[in-house]
Homo-oligomer: A and B are copies of this chain.
Amino acid sequence: MTDSNETDVQIDALRSLLRQGDIAAFRESFLDWHSYEQGQFYLELSEEERHIVYSYLSPEELADMFDMIEEEDEDVKEYLAEMRPSYAAAMLGHMYPDNAADILKQLDKPAVAQYMSIMAAEKALDLKELLHYEDETAGAIMTTEYVSIVANQTVKSALNLLKMKAKKAEIIYYVYVIDESEHLVGVISLRDLLVGEDDEMIFDIMSERVISAKIGDGQEDIAQVIRDYDLLALPVTDYDDHLLGIITVDDIIDVIDDEAASDYSGLAGVDVDVTNENPLKASSKRLPWLITLLFLGMSTATLINHYEVLISEASILAVFISLITGTAGNAGTQSLAVAVRRLAVSDDKDENFLKLILSEIMTGVLTGLITGLVIFVVVGIWKGNFILGLVIGIAMFCAIIVANLAGSLIPMLMERLGFDPAVASGPFITTLSDLTSVLIYFNIAGLFMNFFIN
């Protein structure tokens, strides 16, 4: 693996070539680098230095690098704005269409229109189509630069065709076979082409069982298919089976990462996308949730306030508030995590809703029963008061069942209502379960009040 110190040294060396104005030496070093490393270099430059880069490199050379840059939208916008429009448009035209579309989506409409009008007409048309697809669907993440051939030709002619198209296509390791009206009818890997005999016909050796996605399929489902089938790319068709594009595995890795980060952020009630922030930025991200939950927590306080008479008569009740709310909160978080994960990985989202709820209730009853029994014994012995133990035990039992249900029901409802289930965050569930637990606890305690009044 590349040593990060070594990289730093190389970056410094390249930077001084840039500043000294040694075009030839700079280009030789820079173009020898992997486009990811070029991107890392570029991101370190000042605006002034970047302007020199634009004058030293062609739009096409810069496009290779921009294909690998995964920066915050803000920054990329700024980079484009500082290039001459004709240079930026040419660069966008040389990028892979899916990446160019990702950038264009961040720009204002007039800027997009401007670039489109300067760009080659065919390119602009391609991009315009990609821009129309809904976010997080196959259409939004596919590229239009794939290799397609017709079935009625020999391996040799297909390989010759491939050689011509190889430079432009994003991935050439699967070749898609189409009929005269561009229906997807087969697939053949470059490996099979390579080991095939020169005069074999494509239709004899292609596979007709093509795994493909529809243009409107969600990116999570697509990621699951690519993962299950170990594919390097997946073809995308419209609802009439016309081939429209392909989705490559590198984009799917980004999807998997993003989905994981978003599920994870949801569970914690904080956006963890950027992990190295200054305290001011970090606080401004965390505070909205904290304050919102503070007000939700206030309703719990109000509720306890309502039972203050009970507490002043039997202050022992106060001792167990945090134990019951805490344990119910833990149980709720567990069931939330399982529910969100199930929604994320499940192939079949229409699974029996009732069956899942019943199973979650059963799990709540079982965990509640055992936890309740344990605390009944512990409190009974500790306080020498098994009635108190019973109250705590029963309250714990009920609070856990309710928290479990909330933890699994709320994300499922969110999903049905069309929201991301991960926004039902862990802190939200625990704060909500605080409220219900307190309500349950004091109501049960009220029934047994005669036993506590000192």
User: What is the interface of chain A, defined by CB distance below 8 A to chain B?
Assistant: 1-2, 4, 32-34, 36, 68, 159, 162-163, 166-167, 172-173, 190-191, 194-195, 209, 211-214, 217, 221-222, 225-230, 232, 249-250, 252-254, 256-257, 260-261, 263-265, 267-270, 272, 275-276, 278-280, 282-283, 286-287, 289-291, 293-294, 297-298, 300-301, 304-305, 308, 311-312, 315-323, 325-327, 329-331, 333-338, 341-342, 345-348, 359-360, 362-363, 365-367, 370-371, 374-375, 378, 426-427, 430-431, 434, 438
Copies in the complex: 2
Sorted nearest first, the 3 A-B pairs with minimum C-beta distance are: A268-B337, A260-B260, A279-B362
Across the interface, which residues of B come within 8 angstroms of A365, CB to CB?
A: 279
Question: Measured between alpha carbons, how far is A221 from B308 in the docked complex, in Å?
Answer: 55
Question: Measured between alpha carbons, how far is A346 from B272 in the docked complex, in Å?
Answer: 13
Contact B338 A326 (CB under 8 A): no
Contact B330 A431 (CB under 8 A): yes
Across the interface, which residues of B come within 8 angstroms of A316, CB to CB?
A: 305, 308
Question: Measured between alpha carbons, how far is A347 from B260 in the docked complex, in Å?
Answer: 19
Q: Which of B260, B293, B333, B336 contacts A327 (CB 8 A)?
A: B293
A253 with B250, Cβ < 8 A, contacts A172-B191, A190-B173 known: no
What's the least CB distance linking A255 to chain B, in Å? 10
- Shortest Cβ distance from A267 into B: residue: B267
Contact A426 B230 (CB under 8 A): no
Given contacts A2-B211, A268-B334, 9 further A-B contacts (CB under 8 A): A173-B173, A173-B232, A227-B250, A256-B256, A264-B267, A272-B338, A289-B334, A294-B371, A326-B434
Contact B334 A270 (CB under 8 A): yes
Across the interface, which residues of B come within 8 angstroms of A331, CB to CB?
A: 286, 290
What's the least CB distance linking A17 to chain B, in Å? 17
A347 with B4, Cβ < 8 A, contacts A326-B434, A367-B283 known: yes
Contact B278 A253 (CB under 8 A): no
Across the interface, which residues of B come within 8 angstroms of A226, CB to CB?
A: 253
What's the least CB distance linking A154 to chain B, in Å? 16
Question: Measured between alpha carbons, how far is A190 from B336 in the docked complex, in Å?
Answer: 46
Across the interface, which residues of B come within 8 angstroms of A190, CB to CB?
A: 172-173, 190, 194
Contact A366 B280 (CB under 8 A): yes
Q: List 8 A-B contacts (CB under 8 A).
A: A232-B232, A267-B268, A275-B345, A282-B359, A305-B319, A311-B318, A321-B321, A426-B426
Across the interface, which residues of B come within 8 angstroms of A283, CB to CB?
A: 363, 366-367, 370
Question: Measured between alpha carbons, how far is A222 from B1 in the docked complex, in Å?
Answer: 8
Contact B282 A338 (CB under 8 A): yes
